[in-house]
Structure 1
């Protein structure tokens, strides 16, 4: 997950997105926005604008950086907050976002040493930050200075406090639930298609203390159901959950250290193969302990549906299969949770899963030729399985291919009529058509 990889993913977003509202400003006006940062008053925060200018041949209006102007929440709701790590220093990150040729940005950047915040893109605009345009168009991205393989070094108390304060402020402002279906990591963002699964990012990674962070935000993990609940929240004690992972990019073993992650196995044994995400291991090979192999682990504060229990072990439904993790007696590994799960309707054997909730082709104007459609991912929900979720996912596409609204329908939001709901089928959030599933309350 190098900075070069981050930039390459951002390049794929320049063919941007999707109720027709021709109310957006040209580039010149975007560069003269109000210079006051959108932060809580008690937070040390400054305004450092990311680049918004044409690059290359002026005739090629599709070549520009590093975000898209919008008027959210009018041009689409803001439903998610995405946490990243920079893989760069704070100062270097600001420089990258201020260079339009890099074509990448985030709304906020948080400094490790003292929690200082720089806002670089206004909340109303769409930052190029998550590697999934559907998520981009309805999220706010927060970059945190750090390197995911060195998390304990970078993720300081000051950073946790500042990011939590900023998230609380944004969640209250835009009515975003304080749960892990809406406060997500870059590692929880789904690909837009099956082909893009292997290229998705995995930050802030296994050394980000999600339980601690969510308690600071105001969404701590507490029991909300009986001990036999099929819906659970993974909740190992961070300081006691010592794990060893491998940095497979550098071919080195990382020191054993506290982690939010719990390894997942194919059987209730540590000698069994690790779980293999078919989006990563397309050849069917076993999962690995590589820190970037998100399919072979589940993170603290994520929910899952129990498929089976054996002494010392718990199986959950994970990417269409059973995945096992250790849950020794008298050790807090899971917390019983009340909430909603989705399961296939009677008669449905396999429910398609999507990484976006875009309108159907028939829902775009007849003269709109650049229709963007969702295609199923490689994961399905099978009869007899259930997954956390059920919250409505807005169906729509924000179309913004140029810097100055010169194309027909440019900077226009197209709503869709097909209803989608969210699902946590594996490590990443995803979407299913509401007509395919039943949403059931658990206790």
Structure 2
């Protein structure tokens, strides 16, 4: 890949103070040959290194398939991203070992038996989430399987839970759906990136089962009338008709982790339109790929209005409605933290990364421009908070760390919060919002 092709966050598979690996000396170049695995002792794991290779001998910026770092010293690990491979286990290993494919993940979990291959050291940055900021602050776990087929196995769920518990304890990651996220919850880093973001592990992945195995089932922590709720349908009873629009095929109705969103309290109303996914202004759909037209189990929202059989939540700057029939569990009341615009602000911008301002970049590191996403927090609205998120841009552009200030974290002065703006998370500046407790 050329430097322009590798422009961080411009790639869907790649994309990040002043801590620099140059301070660590020659050992900082260690990568693919490191032995051992980072797994709980109870889990069947092996070390199967992803490629770390310079692909053009004349160009140190042309390489694959991850970036060397020294996390958490360089940049904090705050998220765990769950993916599916859309390939067999063996083919996934081959892809991650091909430096021309520009893709990797820290772990791959086999469907048949829950066997785990660690392919990237957790200190390093895998090219996995399609958002360089999220890449640099996360560990990626790939599940052998296909999102449209709902073939994830009990062995995979059990292995995933063991691995997530281990990683969460190691890096002090909260066990909630603002931090244990799917690839379908990762935001586009800028508006043009949104439509190309991935939708795995998809509408049928059983998040409730995973969190029960984690020992963190969704339980009521707020009063019955709390405005803060967690989406929590009964998986086996929540039968949804979803379309796979990549193959133009209907997926047979089956248990789902998701609830459909409408623009009004009627199934005859248009489906919710995600402005980033539907840049042509078309209405939302029941496509699995149309993540903005659904909400997913475990995600928290603030209730905007209730009508018989329907609930509206604040969502991407407006009211989105989902069916909530009497006697059918769709949400669980919560107490917790929400964000709302500070007094005097008509709306607050939402970003796809928590990056420094231009003036905070050293001259040797090009400024990465971040523009607001097409969603805002408007006056009178409230959104669930995932807490403070790390700031900083991790600059890594060469195979050997030889560029000026290469493998350096550029810190920022601004503080950001994670916000559940839609199906995908986003980031808002702390100076723009008030943090309020909802019970």
The interval holding the TM-score normalised by the smaller chain is: over 0.9
Task: Please say if 1:343 is aligned against 2:344.
Answer: no
The superposition leaves residues 379-422 of structure 1 with CA deviations (integer Å, 9 ceiling, x where unpaired) of: 11110111000511111011010010111000111111111111
1:100 aligns with 2:99: yes
Give the equivalent residue in structure 2 for 1:67: 66
1:381 corresponds to: 377
Give the Å deviation of 1:265: 0.7
Shift of 1:32: 2.3
What SS does the corresponding residue of 2:91 show, helix, strand or coil? helix
Report SS of the residue matched to 2:281. coil
In structure 2, what is the equivalent of residue 425 of structure 1?
A: 421
State whether residues 233 and 334 of structure 1, in contact with CA within 8 Å, keep that contact through their aligned partners in structure 2. Answer: yes
Counterparts of 1:15 and 1:202, CA distance in 2:
17
Give the Cα–Cα distance (whole angstroms) in 2 for the partners of residues 212 and 8 of structure 1: 38
Q: Is the 8 A contact 2:14 2:128 kept in 1?
A: no
Per the alignment, residue 392 of structure 1 pairs with: 388
Deviation by residue 1:274-322 (Cα, 9 ceiling, x = unmatched): 1110011112211001111001110111111100000110000111111
- Per-residue deviation, residues 8-31 of structure 1 (Å, max 9, x unmatched): 999816875261321265797323
Which aligned pairs between 1:34-433 and structure 2 lie closer than 5 A? 35-56=35-56, 58-151=57-150, 154-365=151-362, 367-389=363-385, 391-433=387-429
**Structure 1 runs (4+) greater than 6 angstroms displaced:** 7-11
Q: Distance in 2 between matches of 1:398 and 1:37?
A: 25
Corresponding residue number in structure 2 for 1:3: none
| Deviation readout 1:304-350 (Å, 9 max, x if unpaired) | 11000001100001111111111111111110011100000011001
What is the alpha-carbon distance in structure 2 between the residues aligned to residue 243 and residue 15 of structure 1? 33
Give the TM-score normalised by structure 1: 0.95
Distance (whole Å) between structure 2 residues aligned to residue 309 and residue 13 of structure 1: 38
Question: Structure 1: any 5+ residue segments left out of the alignment?
Answer: 1-6
Q: 1:271: Cα distance to partner?
A: 1.0
SS in 2 for 1:246: strand
C-alpha separation between the residues in 1 aligned to 2:288 and 2:429? Answer: 32
Q: How many residues align?
A: 432
CA contact (8 A) 2:29 2:401 kept: no
Normalised by the length of structure 2, the TM-score is: 0.96
Q: Are 1:434 and 2:430 counterparts?
A: yes
RMSD of aligned alpha carbons: 1.8
Q: Distance in 1 between matches of 2:64 and 2:360?
A: 29
Is the Cα–Cα contact under 8 Å of residues 27 and 52 in structure 1 kept in the other structure?
no
Partner secondary structure for residue 373 of structure 2: strand
Moved more, 113-122 or 244-253: 244-253
The SS at the match of 2:302 is strand
Question: Which deviates more from structure 2 when the two are superposed, residues 386-395 or residues 335-344?
Answer: 386-395
State the SS of the aligned residue for 1:159: helix
CA drift at 1:373: 3.4
Cα distance between partner residues in 2 of 1:13 and 1:59: 25
The answer to whether the Cα contact below 8 Å between 1:278 and 1:284 also exists between their aligned partners in 2 is: yes
Change (3 A) 1:31 1:25: farther
